[in-house]
């Protein structure tokens, strides 16, 4: 279906649900400007209808609606079901006689037991034939609910069950239904459907993958653009921080002392600038809530969400890498050359994409704000310690810190790539020159390659572009991990909830 037809269908559905006067109204407006409870209910129904599902579950769709609106909404649902060959299963609260007549089939449950399941228009015969006739001029649905209601046993026994208790009456009706012709017909019909239409039931009605990605990318980009706290505030903070960083290391020079200063600057850039991406964690948590609700409703697949999030966030992350990065690079006076700055900004971009993906993974597993921040910051702290700056690679303890953490921490590739980008091709005066020596009359200099090999213990067997390629490969791997986590987290959510509440000291039972 083309986008124009989808838009036309959406507008038609909105009008048929009586929402044409609220088409330009914000759902969560201030004061009296927002939608009413009944209108919000109809909007939620419209959202489900637009996906054209073959099977639609509605939990009390008429809640908050008056009797006229309830009939109108349910009548429209029946028309849609016929038009799109849709099956609708709804639990409904105290339907009027008009609304009850719209239902083709009826299922009555009491304490998990099936009291009746069959055509709604002949349910009265079942109750009448088993000693519970519906009184004249009474809504049949009210009579059925009163008969099988167990909340007020003492009062209900005297009014509806004659000489039987509520439990006895329900058990009697359950036995009667199991032995009835209606029950046998239902079992036979279900068996036929399972055999004949098994493949038909598996067919979906989702939009294709490309359409899902395009729509989600546009929506995600608009949300990021409008939300000041998502990227704009972070951009402002990065500009302020990089301006401060540039002023601290202003005009760093090319003396021997600048070797350590350049290394510290590059380490700070790859570590503490990128770790600030956790500032977007609250927005990530909200994105995960929306994704989980929409995925469970069958709107799109996890892969579409991952692709759209990657594409929509890339322009903002690129801006954060280029603008603050240019400020720091120019103020400090790092190695000149367009290729050197491009590598610097690209490394910063890759690191921020890695941190964002890591925090998205954490947000999908731990939706609790405090737990998520602690977990994400803790993981990155361990990676920074093993990256090869605070403790040089050859000096790292072999167990855990060097094998495997040093090789899987992205900071290692960021540090080494930035060091190569800065020191290769430069020369610095050796330490003894600064001591006023010069005994032999010749100036002693140390090449950048020697600094990389002997001072920073950088692996020189491959170029800096290989380090950058490793960073972007890790971005792809982290995104794949996010996809796997999104696809499997629902199975382990009960366990995750128990762990979260254990650490938070809560004893609420799920």
Q: What are the residues whose beta carbons fall under 8 Å from the beta carbon of 396, sequence distance 6 or more? A: 386, 388, 402, 406
Domains along the sequence of the chain with CATH: 1-103 (3.40.50.300), 107-197 (no CATH), 212-491 (no CATH)
Which pLDDT score is estimated for 286?
Answer: 85
- Dihedral through CA 216, CA 219, CA 220, CA 221, nearest 10? 120
452 near 420, Cβ under 8 Å? yes
Which pLDDT score is estimated for 469?
Answer: 97
Which pLDDT score is estimated for 121?
Answer: 87
Q: What is the pLDDT along the chain (510 residues), one digit of tens a residue?
A: 555 666 676 677 777 677 777 776 766 544 455 677 777 777 877 777 777 777 888 888 887 778 888 888 888 888 877 887 888 888 887 788 888 888 888 999 888 888 999 888 888 888 888 888 888 888 888 888 888 877 765 554 444 555 667 788 888 888 999 988 888 888 888 888 777 666 554 555 557 889 899 999 999 999 899 888 889 988 999 999 999 999 999 989 888 889 999 999 999 999 988 888 787 888 888 888 888 888 877 788 899 999 999 999 999 999 999 999 999 999 999 998 999 999 999 999 999 999 999 999 998 888 778 888 889 899 999 999 999 999 999 999 999 999 999 999 999 999 999 999 999 999 988 865 444 444 444 458 899 999 999 999 999 999 999 999 999 999 999 999 999 998 887 677 666 666 666 655 544 444
Which pLDDT score is estimated for 497?
Answer: 63
56 near 86, Cβ under 8 Å? yes
List the Cα angle 314/415/455 in 5-degree steps.
165
User: Burial of 161 by CB count in 10 Å (0-12 exposed, 13-18 middle, 19+ buried)?
Assistant: buried
Cα 390 → chain centroid:
35
Which pLDDT score is estimated for 509?
Answer: 44
47 near 15, Cβ under 8 Å? no
Which pLDDT score is estimated for 152?
Answer: 62
List the Cα angle 132/145/76 in 5-degree steps.
120
Give the whole-angstrom CA distance, residue 40 versus residue 27.
7
Which pLDDT score is estimated for 483?
Answer: 93
Give the whole-angstrom CA distance, residue 405 versus residue 120.
64
Give the whole-angstrom CA distance, residue 180 versus residue 174.
10
Question: Which tokens is 114 given?
Answer: 């099936």
Question: Which tokens is 238 given?
Answer: 């990065």
Q: What are the residues whose beta carbons fall under 8 Å from the beta carbon of 36, sequence distance 6 or more? A: 64
- The number of residues in the chain equals 510
Strand partners, 114: 109
Give the whole-angstrom CA distance, residue 355 versus residue 434.
41
User: Judging by DSSP bridges, how do beta strands 445-447 and 427-429 pair with one another?
Assistant: antiparallel
Which pLDDT score is estimated for 502?
Answer: 63
Which pLDDT score is estimated for 74?
Answer: 86
DSSP letter, residue 228: I
Helix (H) or strand (E) holding 485, with range, is helix 464-504
Which pLDDT score is estimated for 34?
Answer: 65
């Amino acid at each position: 279906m083309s986008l124009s037809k989808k838009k036309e269908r959406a507008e038609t559905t909105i009008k048929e649900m009586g929402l044409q006067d609220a088409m330009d109204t914000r759902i969560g407006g201030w004061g009296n400007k927002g939608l009413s409870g009944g209108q919000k209910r109809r909007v939620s129904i419209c959202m489900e209808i637009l996906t054209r599902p073959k099977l639609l579950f509605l939990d009390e769709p008429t809640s908050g609606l008056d009797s006229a609106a309830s009939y109108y909404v349910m009548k429209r649902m029946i028309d849609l079901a016929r038009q799109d060959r849709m099956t609708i299963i709804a639990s409904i609260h105290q339907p009027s006689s008009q609304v009850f007549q719209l239902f083709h089939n009826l299922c009555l449950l009491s304490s998990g037991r099936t009291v009746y399941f069959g055509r709604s228009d002949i349910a009265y015969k079942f109750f009448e034939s088993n000693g519970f006739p519906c009184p004249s001029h009474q809504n049949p649905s009210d009579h059925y609910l009163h008969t099988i209601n167990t909340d007020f046993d003492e009062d209900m026994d005297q009014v509806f069950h004659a000489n039987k208790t509520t439990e006895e009456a329900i058990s009697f009706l359950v036995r009667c239904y199991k032995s009835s012709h209606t029950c046998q017909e239902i079992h036979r019909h279900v068996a036929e459907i399972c055999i004949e239409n098994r493949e038909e039931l598996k067919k979906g009605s989702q939009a294709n993958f490309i359409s899902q990605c395009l729509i989600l990318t546009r929506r995600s980009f608009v949300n990021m653009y409008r939300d000041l706290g998502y990227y704009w505030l972070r951009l402002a903070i990065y500009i302020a921080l990089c301006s401060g960083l540039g002023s601290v290391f202003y005009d760093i020079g090319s003396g021997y002392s600048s070797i350590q200063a350049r290394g510290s600057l590059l380490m700070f850039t790859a570590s503490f600038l990128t770790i600030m991406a956790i500032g977007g964690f609250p927005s990530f948590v909200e994105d995960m809530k929306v994704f989980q609700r929409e995925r469970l409703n069958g709107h799109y697949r996890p892969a579409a969400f991952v692709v759209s999030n990657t594409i929509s966030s890339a322009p903002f992350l690129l801006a954060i890498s280029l603008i603050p990065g240019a400020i720091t690079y120019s103020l400090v006076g790092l190695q000149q050359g367009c290729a050197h700055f491009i590598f610097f900004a690209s490394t910063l971009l890759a690191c921020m994409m890695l941190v964002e993906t890591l925090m998205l993974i954490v947000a999908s597993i731990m939706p609790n704000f405090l737990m998520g921040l602690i977990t994400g910051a803790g993981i990155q702290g361990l990676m920074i310690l093993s990256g090869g700056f605070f403790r040089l690679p050859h000096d790292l303890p072999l167990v855990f810190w060097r094998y495997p953490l040093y090789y899987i921490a992205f900071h290692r590739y960021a540090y080494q790539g930035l060091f190569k980008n800065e020191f290769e091709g430069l020369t610095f005066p050796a330490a003894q020159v600064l001591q006023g020596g010069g005994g032999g009359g010749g100036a002693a200099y140390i090449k950048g390659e020697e600094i990389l090999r002997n001072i920073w213990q950088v692996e020189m067997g491959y170029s800096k572009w290989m380090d950058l390629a490793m960073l972007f490969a890790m971005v792809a791997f982290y995104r794949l991990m996010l996809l796997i986590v999104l696809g499997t987290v629902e199975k382990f959510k009960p366990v995750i909830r128990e762990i979260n509440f254990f650490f938070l000291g809560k004893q609420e039972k799920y």
